[in-house]
Structure 1
Amino acid sequence: MASHVQQTPPYTREPSPKHGVSTVQSRPFINSGLTAWNNIQRFLQGDECIIDGSSLDIAGVVAVAKYGTPALLSTDDETRKRIDDSVGMLRTHLDSGHLVYGVSTGFGGSADTRTDNLEDLQRALVQHQNTGVLTSHDIGRPQDAKSMQDPVRSRDIDMAFSTNSMPTSWVRGSMLTRCNSIIRGHSGVRISVGQAILKLLNKNIIPVVPLRGSISASGDLSPLSYIAGAIEGSSDIYVRLSDGKVMPASEALEDAGIEPVVLGPKEGLGLLNGTAFSAATASLALHQSQDVVLLSQVLTAMGVEALQGSAESFWPQIANMRPHPGQIESAGNIFSFLQGSQLAKCVGSPKDTKITGLYQDRYALRTSSQWLGPQIEDLLHATSQITTELNSTTDNPLIDVESDHVLHGGNFQAAVVTSTMDRARLCLERLGKMLFSQATEIINPMLNGGLPANLSADDPSLSFTCKGVDINMASYQSELGFLANPVGNHVQSAEMHNQAINSLALISSRYTFQALDTIYLLSAAHLFVLCQALDLRVLQNDFLESMEPEMKKLVEDFLSTNKQSNQELQDELVNAISTRVHKVWPTTTTADLDGRCKTTADAVTLDVINAFAKASPSIPLDSAELVRLTSDLQTGMQDLYEAKRQNLFKNHLAITPTYLGNAAKRMYQFVRGDLGVKLHRGLFEHPTQPLPEGVEVEEPRKSIGSRISVIYEALRDGRASAVLMACAEEGLRQK
């Protein structure tokens, strides 16, 4: 381009000031995540979750399900009136002799039966749905003495610890969600029934519900029947208390002073015939999925720094030329996370158009915002859909007080939940594939731009730090790929062919939790890899930078005995040797330190000869002095690198963060500082390896897997979420 032509995007070599990347409006996903996080913090500080049938959100479900936030019915008159009116209208229709499905008829394919025994019909509904399988371990029942005498059965230790029951958080969330639905005034269920469920919830008397058995067609019939059985005070429905004790519901209600509920007309159907388990578990899964999306963007920024990649890929003008909202947001997030980095290119400085080597990053980094964008958009849409589902009436029939009609339809068909969960798992697989690709590039010495093979901090002939991690991650990603397969296309016709199509939503939610667990494993491994890589990148850069004055001293000493040398030759030699060292050193990463230094030092020989050959007037070169120069260079490099390495071993928590961008610094300090997962220094970290004299380690020494396990637990239990949200808040403030 001619120099007199004004450069405008995309030709500028730095981010265009016309395109801001920090506005909340352009980053709805990260903003919604922060809003949910702040709402949960508010609940944790003592706020109650008030349900009114229309305002429940995912944060409320998470707070009640996972953290025990109390849940209460709204006390406004409108809520109570809606409920009372629906119950009254149903009674009027029944008193007038109208048939109402599931109230005076049989159920499903048996709806051709009739009865006037309305209460017993509701008990019959609960009875025929209490069909799930629970083991003795699930319900705290002692093993049958006769079976334990069997020599095989008594030795099967897996049976003693296997579980067929749902996690308590799933059941808590479902109790809340079902209450929120039936108080909308379309179910004909008395307010006292909802209050009974909330009493159990708030007193931590939680039904033990079978893990399997729902096809989420006429709602989650079987799982919800265990909630109904619990408030009935059934002696063969079990509940788990806050101390972990499991006991029959009949005993738990008596101990708590709670009166059992006798289900009135339609109340059994109103409780069972809904999508509560599907919607609640989907809410919990989406909440975690949002965390994973944010985590993947932070890890990508760290990957850019570890590979000394370029922030240019995330400049706003690129995304604005292809204005998909998800891509715009992801690029803005990652670009803001990179601010302050001393390792990534194009951060706070113009693009260098004359660099040597790879001119642009490989796809796993360069196209990450394009890869992440659709996942962000899908999960935003899924969040909207599940929020709607949480505030929907999903049973049948429906009581429409306004028109005075009892409506028969299929709002219980949870296909929308299946769709969100199938897409969520596909999103998680896409995220996993990206992170796995980034990690393998960082571990591979042929691709990582000079980092040691397998990210070994000591000699690679006897240290293979991340080789096993690489294999683990391949396993995790393969499993994610399998779990990404849709569940919704495995429908089987059920219940006398009445439920010929059914959503399988709860099954899809269950598999989404498996996918989440797997990607957390992969992310924990990748975070271990990234922190190791960042330390070693800092070591490499610090070493090469510190070699500059050392090389100048070596050249000065080398020329001190040559009376014909001059400043021009000295400058030429310093430049030639420095260039060669910077070029060769990153290619020697599969060799031990002495071999790396010898190969690099020997490589400067020809450069020295050429420098003398070009000198004018001619200057003689003493071959013995040349040998001494390369020998001194080898020794100097080895001594300096070892000194820098030992210093990093001791002080990496103070040194490395000074090079890092905003998000990487927070996450690195969390792993290295808060979690205590220090830089892996090599073979002598192995618990059974004899320690060299003078080497100190933190005892007890831990395996690599144990270190990654610490990170994994922090990702799963929410400690890392606080760090991610701090990254997000800081990122939104970036201009």
Structure 2
Amino acid sequence: MTVTISGDGLTTDAIAAVSHGERVEITNDSAVRDRLECSRAVIRDALDRGEAIYGVSTLFGAMADHHVPEDRLVELQRLALWQHKTATGPRLPASDVRAAMLLRANSLLKGASAIRLSIIERYVTFLNADAVPHVFQRGSIGASGDLVPLSYIAGAVLGLDDAFLVDLGGETIGALTALDRLGLEPIELQPKEGLALNNGTGASTGVAANAVDRALDLAAVTIGLHALYAQALRATDQSFAPFVHAMKAHPGQIWAARAMLDLLEGSPVIRREDGGERDRPAGVLIQDRYSLRCLPQYLGPIIDGLLVAKRQIEIEANSANDNPLVDPDRAEILHTGNFLAQYTGVAMDQVRYHLGLLAKHVDVQIALLVSPEFNHGLTPSLTGNMDGMSVGLKSLQVATNQMMPLMGFYGQSIVDKFPTHAEQFNQNINSQAMNSANLARDTLDVFTHFLAVSSFVAVQSVELRAKEQGGTYDARSILSPATVPLYEAARRAAKGEPDDAAPLLWNDMDQFVQPMVEGLITGLDRGGPILQAVSGVAAGLRGHAPL
């Protein structure tokens, strides 16, 4: 797969693909290339007229009243990058750095930034060689763009100084050494180009794009787990009846109900009550508890919210977001604020909030499954061997009880906590988008662990239900065809093939549970078997159209 960039049409799917190693090429569209040169000509002409241009013939930010003489304009662009070599602390993951490089190149191709094609090509060369600059998580407030992280990328790609570091071929080397190995020479900046490279939202939005892509994958896993839980709890299909959701026609709610019906079709343990039939065993409530009965209503706004965030990130990824911008058609230079990454910050606040809601819902389902008062005949704590010396999944439930509140805490907004005095009161509103996006990645790390434990619970519960129903622990005997792949993938990731004679966990002392959870975490990796098992749900989710 090769992703073609042109300044438009870049999706989160494509960004994630490049983040994980796919190649990139620049469009051959002559109109795109012509706009690049036209915008540069506008800047040259304005300088020839002696026009003051922010960051081109003036200093930056609240010092923009300081004029820079003509013989120092090139030096000014070097300063635009060099002044931001101030970060340290935890590094951005390589996948997020690659996303940031891709988004900066794509943005510059819109032809509003007055930069040479050869510099954009250099970014693509780095991506295709998997040369990854060292970039740090801290330092950007998402106001005048992601100045610090984008400066580290630009300094490395241009060969500004060997102090900018690059990972290439398994080694960490200086930028000049990296250029030499790639057969490249350092590039000297021309007026406006330094500012074009670091004054934009590509770093925070790159992190955000990867977060959205991962969130959708894990949301699909969550929906698949709910289908397994519903079967373990012998739920009714009445909760997902199309008529019910047509009467409250929120798109996400309708989609969630339809997805659950599709996943549960053909399951012998789901109570078939849609269409007037009633299959309620004696002693069972006439209707399921809310975590099952209200599942579409609960998941609907989460699904819609994640898709809204996806669309916002895609618009941002295809925007020109530096300052000033050049309109090559009107030969006009505009001093603007597209560098404010507010959409990215708000989207990431919302994604984290929605992830916390997903985790809380799953945590409630687990609580039902481990409680004999509510699990319809399963053992306490889903214990395998009830010989009086096993306690089942107690510790695993406690693990989810630790992670769920943490995700809720991470789900609190940060965009509204911006300082109003940043950079001499010049950046007196700022998006905090980098903080928000980094927190989204951290939340997804916790959610992955949470879902690994939740998958363990799902496997154990359906295997105990299978034994109760038919004498075998192999849950394929009771599961719907659509949920068998998820069950098999999770079972194999944790321990191995389903076993007629024993559930996933029989005697507590038989095995160490930690490696089983770690196997499930690996199974949840991008492209891993658990994600492959819900690929149909994930595709449907990505294709859903919210309001």
For normalisation by structure 2, the TM-score amounts to 0.94
Structure 1 gap segments, 5+ residues each: 1-42, 135-163, 543-643, 687-701
1:162-173 alignment, distance < 5 Å: 164-173=90-99
**Structure 2 equivalent of residue 514 of structure 1:** 442
Q: 1:710 aligns with which of 519, 539, 545?
A: 519
Give the match for residue 79 of structure 2.
Answer: 124
The one-letter amino acid of 1:724's match is V
By how many angstroms is 1:476 displaced?
0.6
Q: Does 1:476 align with 2:430?
A: no
- TM-aligned CA deviation for residue 362 of structure 1: 0.8
Does the C-alpha gap of structure 1 residues 438 and 356 become closer, same or farther in structure 2, counting only changes over 3 Å?
Answer: same
Residues 289/79 of structure 1: CA separation in 2 closer, same or farther (3 Å cut): same
**1:727: how far off?**
5.2
Residue 112 of structure 2: SS of its match in structure 1?
A: coil
Match of 2:466 in 1: 538
| Secondary structure at the counterpart of residue 383 of structure 1 | helix
Select 1:683's aligned residue among 493, 507, 512.
507
| 1:284 aligned onto 2:238 | no
Does 2:8 align with 1:81? no
Partners of 1:490 and 1:731 lie apart in 2 by 32
Q: Secondary structure at the match of 1:716?
A: coil
Aligned partners of 2:280 and 2:516: how far apart in 1? 41
Q: Distance in 2 between matches of 1:729 and 1:514?
A: 24
| Whole-Å separation in 1 of the counterparts to 2:101 and 2:299 | 34
Conserved? CA contact 1:663–1:727, under 8 Å: no
* Structure 2: distance between partners of 1:53 and 1:731: 26
| Contact persistence 2:237–2:272 (CA under 8 A) | yes
- Asked if the contact 1:398/1:406 (under 8 Å) is kept, the reply is yes
Tell me how far 1:523 sits from its aligned partner.
Answer: 1.3
User: Residue 246 in 1 paired to residue 172 in 2?
Assistant: yes
Whole-Å separation in 2 of the counterparts to 1:181 and 1:729:
27
Q: What is the SS of the residue equivalent to 2:223?
A: helix
How many Å apart are 1:367 and its aligned residue?
0.6
Match of 1:365 in 2: 292
- Pairs aligned (count): 531
SS at match of 1:247: strand
Call closer, same or farther: CA 1:439–1:447 in 2, change over 3 Å.
same
Kindly provide the amino acid, as one letter, of the partner of residue 397 in structure 2: D
CA separation in 2, counterparts of 1:730 and 1:424? Answer: 19
Change (3 A) 1:430 1:460: farther
Q: 2:268 aligns with which of 330, 342, 366?
A: 342
List aligned pairs for 1:384-463, cutoff 5 A: 384-459=311-386, 461-463=388-390
- Cα gap change, 1:105 to 1:207, in 2 (>3 Å): same
* Higher RCO structure (Cα 8 Å, ≥6 apart): 2
Tell me which residue corresponds to 1:382: 309
Q: Which SS does the other structure have where 1:129 is aligned?
A: coil
Q: Distance in 1 between matches of 2:186 and 2:303?
A: 46
Counterpart residue identity of residue 63, structure 2: S
Shift of 1:88: 1.0
1:96 and 2:49 equivalent? yes
Closer, same or farther in 2 for the Cα pair 1:274/1:684, shift >3 Å?
A: closer
Percent identity for Structure 1 against Structure 2: 33
Check 1:730–1:265 CA distance in 2 against 1; reply closer, same or farther (3 A cut).
closer
CA distance in 2, matches of 1:172, 1:352: 55
The structure 2 residue matched to 1:271, chosen from 170, 191, 197, is 197
1: CA distance, partners of 2:297 / 2:415: 27
Asked if the contact 1:341–1:347 (Cα under 8 Å) also holds between the matched residues in 2, the reply is no
Distance (whole Å) between structure 1 residues aligned to residue 242 and residue 387 of structure 2: 41
Instruction: Report the equivalent of 2:186.
Output: 260
1:270-315 per-position Cα deviation (integer Å, ceiling 9, x unaligned):
0000000111111100001111221121111111100011111011
Q: Distance in 2 between matches of 1:535 and 1:350?
A: 30
Match in the other structure for 1:109:
62
Give 1:718's aligned amino acid: G
Gap change, CA 1:98 and 1:126, over 3 Å in 2: same
Aligned residue in 2 for 1:22: none
Q: Are the aligned partners of 1:52 and 1:73 in contact in 2 as well (CA < 8 Å)?
A: yes
TM-superposed deviation, 1:672 = 2.2
In the TM superposition, residue 716 of structure 1 has moved relative to its aligned partner by 2.6
- For residue 353 of structure 1, report the CA deviation from its aligned partner: 6.2
Of 128, 136, 157, which residue of structure 2 is paired with 1:210?
136
Residues 275 and 730 (structure 1), Cα distance of their counterparts in 2 relative to 1, 3 Å cut: closer
Residue identity in the other structure for 2:164: I
Give the structure with the higher percent helix: 1
- Residues 452 and 520, structure 2, Cα contact 8 Å, conserved in 1: yes
Q: Does structure 1 conserve the Cα–Cα contact (< 8 Å) formed by 2:495 and 2:504?
A: no
Q: C-alpha root-mean-square deviation of aligned residues, in Å? A: 1.8
> Is residue 2:491 matched to residue 1:672?
yes
Alpha-carbon deviation of 1:100? 0.6
Quick one: distance in 2 between partners of 1:729 and 1:494?
Answer: 42
Deviations 1:473-503 (A, max 9, x none): 0001010110010011221131111111100
| 8 Å CA contact 2:391, 2:508 repeated in 1 | no
Instruction: Report the Cα distance in structure 2 between the residues aligned to 1:399 and 1:731, rounded to whole angstroms.
Output: 38
Going from structure 1 to structure 2, the CA distance change for 1:717 and 1:730 (only over 3 Å counts) comes to closer
Query: What are the superposed Cα offsets for residues 450-489 of structure 1, whole Å, 9 maximum, x if unpaired?
Result: 1011111101521112000110000010101100100112
Deviations 1:383-412 (A, max 9, x none): 111111111000000001122210001000
Contact 2:5 2:25 in 1 (8 A): yes
Give the CA deviation at 1:658. Answer: 2.2
With over 3 angstroms needed to count, the CA separation of the structure-2 counterparts of 1:335 and 1:50, relative to structure 1, is same
**Within 1, Cα distance between the matches of 2:449 and 2:146?**
30
Within the candidate set 456, 459, 479, 1:528 is matched to 456
Decide which of 522, 527, 534 is 1:724's aligned counterpart: 534
Cα distance per residue 1:93-114 (max 9 Å; x no partner)? 1111111100000000110111
1:656 counterpart = 2:475: yes
Alpha-carbon distance in 1 for matches of 2:36, 2:280: 73
| Residue 590 of structure 1: aligned partner | none
1:52 matched residue in structure 2: 6
TM-score (norm 1): 0.70
Alignment CA distance shift 1:474-1:260 (3 Å): same
Q: Tell me by how many angstroms 1:60 deviates.
A: 1.3
The aligned residue for residue 690 of structure 1 is none
Aligned residues of 2:144 and 2:200 also touching (Cα < 8 A): yes
Other-structure match for 1:613: none
Q: CA deviation at 1:425?
A: 0.5
The answer to whether the 8 Å contact 2:108/2:320 transfers is: yes
Indicate the SS of the match to 1:450: coil
How far the C-alpha of 1:429 sits from its partner, in A, is: 0.6
CA distance, structure 2, for counterparts of residue 347 and residue 63 of structure 1: 43
Amino acid at match of 2:441: F
Cα pair distance change 1:261/1:364, threshold 3 Å = same
Partner secondary structure for residue 72 of structure 1: strand
For 1:503, what is the secondary structure of its paired residue? Answer: coil
Partner residue in 1 for 2:16: 62
Classify the secondary structure of the residue corresponding to 2:25: strand
Written as runs of structure 1 = structure 2, the 5 A alignment for 1:15-30 is none
Distance 1:417 1:485, change over 3 A: same
* SS of 2:166 mapped into structure 1: strand
Q: Distance in 2 between matches of 1:70 and 1:326?
A: 34
- Judge conservation of contact 1:336–1:731 (CA < 8 Å) in 2: no
Q: Which residue of 2 aligns with 1:195?
A: 121
Relative to structure 1, is the Cα distance of residues 219 and 684 closer, same or farther in structure 2, using a 3 angstrom cutoff? closer
Find out whether 1:504 has 2:432 as its counterpart: yes
Residue identity matched to 1:683: N
